[in-house]
Structure 1
Amino acid sequence: MTTANPGMDADVFEQFHEQLKRYVRERLIPAEAQVIAEDKIPDDILAEMREMGLFGLTMPVEYGGAGMNITQYVETIHTLSYALPAYRSITSINLGMVCSAIKLNGTEEQKSEWLPRLAAGEIASFGLTEPGSGSDSAGLQTTAVRSGNGYVLNGTKRYITNSPFAKVALIMARTNKESLPKNAHVSAFIVPMDTPGITVGKSDKKMGQGGSHIADIIMEDVYVPGEALLGGEEGKGFAVAMQSLDNGRLSVGAAATAYAKRALDTAVRYANERKAFGEPIANFQLIQAMLADSQAEIYAAQCMMRDAIAKADAGQKVLMEAASFKMFASEMCGRVTDRCVQIHGGAGYLAEYEAERFFRDSRIYRIYEGTTQIMQLVIAKQMLRNFAAGVEG
């Protein structure tokens, strides 16, 4: 068990949280149409987000961050994610994955160099997925071959969030040709994106999540010095990735839960405004059943979230809780956004209304940071390990 993180002062966090709620509703939501039309977050909003410290929430105070604990961080992501997913996407890789990896595994020199830059808003990417491997790290093909005091990286990373405008990427690569026990053939490298030999592919066109970008990172004979090896030790990359993914899964679960609430609020509003047979459709019991089911599922996800983050801040391992929450919340969000379309009827299929966008945006939550099927495997394997060890619960 690790030492619990007290996080930001409770009163200061509450003030920040209230400010963020207003910012989401008064600034970010009104700008959504522009973000979607231009497929990018406007520079002035990005500057505001940096000024608010949204890129440095989880960075330690001594490195220029806010020093939030996991509970405060996930609650912040939950609040931010009521708005368009692109706003969370631009910050989340910094906060939940790259920061976590460097903070927990980096050398003092790596922390001093990179955490202040990430906190100030330099955008990061997390390079694990490849054309031939996602959750299967044994199939990872990117190589890092020793060359003098450094390494030469070759390979392609796929579907990498924020890569078109990232300043740095945390790249997972093979430092051993053979697949070793506990994936000890995988190491992690901190790679500036302007390093010679790196090419970023064209942004992929996606089903939803306008304003958020993913693309390939292609590495051809990319030389990095030995100091780029995270923690200065080979073979720790898989453990770093899995450790970071717990935070990523909590973030995705929080985002899915908040976006489901946004869809439900929109459905309730529409059901009260739309009339049929001379009265609002909200008066019809089958509409009420869809609203009630959605509310109950959102409440369940919120309870799961708060249980998981409380355990994480108490220093407990939350691999199973994070996977369970991510799985349930992402599937739940899909059901709620589907009901939102159904409540809108024909209007729900039109781009003029938000319902169809919620439906498209939410689909990815069941895929990234581990598909629902991978979450099932993670949960079941942990259950079996617990049984073998005589651990209950």
Structure 2
Amino acid sequence: MLMLTSIPGVEIPVITLLLLGLSIGVLSGFTGVGGGFFVTPALIVMGMPVNLAVGTSLFWVFFNSLAGSIIHRNHGNSDIKLGIYIALPSLMGVEAGIQLALYMRTLGVQDVAILSVSIGLMTFIGAYTIIESLKRKDYLDQIGEERHLVSYLPTASARKLQGIQLPPLVHFNRAGVTVSLWIILILGFLIGVSTGFIGTGGGFIVVPALVYLMGIPAVLAVGTSTMPVVLSSLYGGGRYLLSGNVVIVVALVILSTSIPGVIYGASVTKYVRGVTIRMVLGMTILIVSAGAILKLGWLVSDKTLPILQSLANIVTIGGMLFSMVTVVLLKSISRRYRMGKRIPLWSESLFQQHL
């Protein structure tokens, strides 16, 4: 078996990285997240030191998100103006996150701190996304044949934030929303902090934030989120690269299969409803969180329970492959639906009826 041994004391099977890249690419293209919150925990679970995992993840996220941004823009799934407004304050947040990570490293608690923060964020966002999506699906199931007449309805929290008329106000034509500039600045900064600290592009925060806090349809949020992720990961990845905390060969191996995956995942978004995207995103976030919890348990036990390390590998890699297969099945079922063939009744509300 071909192994990567460029990191002293760490051997990672190349086939594992290739499968990781493919699954993350599909999920990244489908959900709009940069994929960093998948890659960072996965690399840590595989035994890579946290500082290298964070830097390598950001380096990869830039190229992966750049591809996703171009693809979604070609599909008309992005609001360029909104993406730029979020991206600019995120750059300041990236530097703050990097400095916080460096401080944690001097205290000797970087591994536990980054995993703990990642777990907390992922569990909250994943659980909230799943609960909301199931409620939305139940509603679509209840209205039956009239579901194709229902346009996107913003959440109560989105309506409240849009009601904050603190000047200056900014209107985004493509997204169809008007919000206070201060809300966007705060959101962008917090996204940047997560980018610099835990090595994500911030996409797993941007997409739920755009949907639940700004009231933007999920399909549009998916494409728009890639733009701030590109800029924040470029800055963060560059900073880690200059400090020698990027394993370029690992990033390139993952990238070789993630780009085709992004193209495939993005193509599926035009066949499904926003609720479907959110359900897959929430499910995947919770799976990755479970793997990170097992890894954290191994670390806090002073690495005396190797079974936790093995289970973390199985849950993380196996879970992402399961999520990728879910996206593939969704495209297959949607094709049957568009051809007028019968599909399970419970799944009809997951797909667009008219294309």
TM-score over 0.5 for the pair: no
With the length of structure 2 as denominator, give the TM-score of the two structures: 0.28
More strand by share: 1
- Higher-helix-fraction structure: 2
Which is bigger in relative contact order (C-alpha 8 A, separation at least 6)?
2
